[in-house]
């Protein structure tokens, strides 16, 4: 697989399929770009150039000693776009914490080159429960997650993926997710969890000036829809939402065909 260097000399592993308009896919926590493989193949078969990369600290990218914050993640995305030449008429697709890269790229880099965005089970605009974000997740939940990862990193994720996937995937799919997570840097995993839990993307929302598709499962207990997907649909004029009734967080695995079809339909409008 090819690699690229970010501005701070972190090596990111990436891959691509197909030719045509570029679609960059950003994976969720704590997985890798490989989670997008079925969607990448579908995009390539339908005339798109699909590009996916492993976030710093995850998959086969460098375990950088720093940079696990959304300003850096957005800068990494900009470096991926530059290195791959995907700089015009680009569609960005972000799953879970990957939606945060898109939001921060749109504000920090002015959305340069981006003409469509897709937020899948995304953490945008704000995960943490506060007085002005009552539908969010309590800080105590994130504290418990951090303690679980510190106490027994490997055991924690065996339990985590039960809610992440729900009941409608194979044991092998969960095993793949667990194995992929074990490739990640534990420090990066903890720091990134803190980043997606506490970063407030509400100031970034006005920068979503391109057509934006929101896809979210109504039974997502990992990233609750009311605080995230529905909030984006309510607050971003250019956004539309498709709710997957009864679906958990990992719709890329539980509704692969439907998700691919919905993304393709949206892209064809661009």
Is the pLDDT at 270 greater than 90, yes or no?
A: no
Place of tokens 């590009």: 51
> Averaged over 206-225, what is the pLDDT?
98
Q: What is the pLDDT at residue 3?
A: 96
The overall average pLDDT reported for the chain is 97
Distance CA 232, CA 240 (A): 9
Of 197, 207, 261, the closest CA to residue 239 belongs to 207
Rounded mean pLDDT of 234-247?
A: 98
Please state, in angstroms and rounded to a whole number, the distance separating the CA atoms of residues 208 and 159.
35
DSSP string, 119-168: EES---S--B-BTTBTTSB-HHHHHHHHHHHHH-HHHHHHHHHHHHHTTS
For residue range 109-141, list pLDDT tens digits in order: 999 999 999 999 999 999 999 999 999 999 999
pLDDT at residue 31 above 80? yes
Are 232 and 102 within 8 A, CB to CB? no
What is residue 55's three-state secondary structure?
coil
Show which residues are catalytic.
Answer: 96, 220, 249
Q: Which of 191, 187, 145, 138 is nearest to 164 (CA)?
A: 145
User: Cis omega before residue 125 (within 30°)?
Assistant: yes
Q: Are 254 and 174 in contact (CB under 8 A)?
A: no
The arithmetic mean of pLDDT across residues 58-62, rounded, is 98
Tell which residue, 118, 26, 17, has the closest CA to residue 74: 26
Smallest CA-to-CA distance from 123 within 103, 97, 93 is with: 97
Tell me the residue length of the chain: 270
Mean pLDDT of 59-78: 98
Which residue ranges form the domains of the chain, and what is each CATH number? Answer: 3-267 (3.40.50.1820)
* pTM tops 0.95: yes
């Amino acid at each position: 697989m090819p690699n690229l260097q970010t501005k701070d000399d972190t090596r990111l592993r990436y891959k691509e399929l197909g030719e045509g308009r570029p679609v960059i896919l950003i994976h969720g926590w704590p997985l890798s770009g490989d989670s997008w493989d079925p969607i990448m193949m579908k995009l390539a078969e339908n005339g798109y150039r699909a590009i996916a990369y492993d976030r710093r600290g995850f998959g086969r990218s460098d375990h950088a000693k720093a940079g696990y914050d959304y300003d850096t993640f957005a800068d990494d995305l900009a470096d991926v776009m530059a290195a791959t030449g995907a700089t015009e008429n680009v569609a960005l697709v972000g799953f879970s914490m990957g939606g945060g890269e898109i939001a921060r790229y749109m504000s920090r880099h002015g959305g340069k080159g981006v003409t469509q965005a897709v937020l899948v089970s995304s953490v945008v605009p704000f995960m943490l429960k506060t007085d002005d974000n009552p539908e969010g997740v309590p800080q105590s939940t994130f504290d418990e997650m951090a303690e679980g990862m510190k106490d027994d990193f490997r055991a924690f994720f065996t339990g985590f993926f039960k809610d992440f996937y729900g009941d409608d995937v194979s044991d092998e799919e969960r095993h793949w997710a667990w194995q992929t997570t074990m490739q990640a840097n534990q420090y990066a995993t903890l720091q990134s969890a803190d980043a997606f839990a506490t970063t407030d993307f509400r100031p970034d929302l006005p920068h979503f000036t391109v057509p934006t598709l929101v896809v979210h499962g109504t039974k997502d207990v990992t990233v609750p829809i009311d605080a995230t997907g529905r909030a984006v649909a309510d607050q971003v004029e250019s956004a539309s939402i498709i709710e997957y009734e009864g679906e958990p967080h990992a719709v890329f695995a539980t509704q692969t065909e439907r998700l691919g079809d919905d993304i393709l339909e949206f892209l064809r409008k661009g």
